[in-house]
Amino acid sequence: MNQINILSVIIPNGTALSGAFRLNGATLLGIEMSAAWTAANLTFQHSIDGTNFFDMYDGAGAEVSLTVVAAHYVFLPPANWSGIIYIKVRSGTGGTPVNQGAERILKLVCKEL
């Protein structure tokens, strides 16, 4: 169908991890950052069943991390993001999460393939 979907992801005030979102077979294409982002990279957790979440790593064993800044759009190569079922977005890394100074809303741009 090739429909574009926008998911609003909320990282609550004083925390580093969003709630879970089901992508329903859509592929993540990009992320629009909050205009008031507390400086930190983005990392992710993935789940197959929506209950058990695991930090995302690439084939080389490195945590999947995006360098981001406030009020920017981050383009993501679709081939790197296909097959994601459930996802959580984290401010900072698994080892060093960065709590946001207020509620932050990120927009995930996804496309049904």
Average of per-residue pLDDT across 12-23: 96
pLDDT of residue 77: 92
Neighbours of 65 (CB within 10 A): 17
pLDDT of residue 1: 58
Rounded Cα distance between 94 and 63, Å, is 8
**17 alpha-carbon distance from chain centroid:** 9
Identify the structural domains of the chain with CATH numbers, from first to last.
4-112 (2.60.120.260)
Mean pLDDT, the chain, whole residue set: 95
pLDDT digits (tens, 9 = 90+) for 43-75: 999 999 999 999 999 999 999 999 999 999 999
pLDDT digits (tens, 9 = 90+) for 77-100: 998 898 899 999 999 999 999 999
Neighbours of 33 (CB within 10 A): 19
Residue 39: phi and psi, rounded to 5, are -50, 120
Residue 13: phi and psi, rounded to 5, are -55, 135
Helices (H) and strands (E) in the chain, counts: 0, 9
Considering the entire predicted model, what is its pTM? Answer: 0.93
How is residue 34 written in tokens? 């909050």
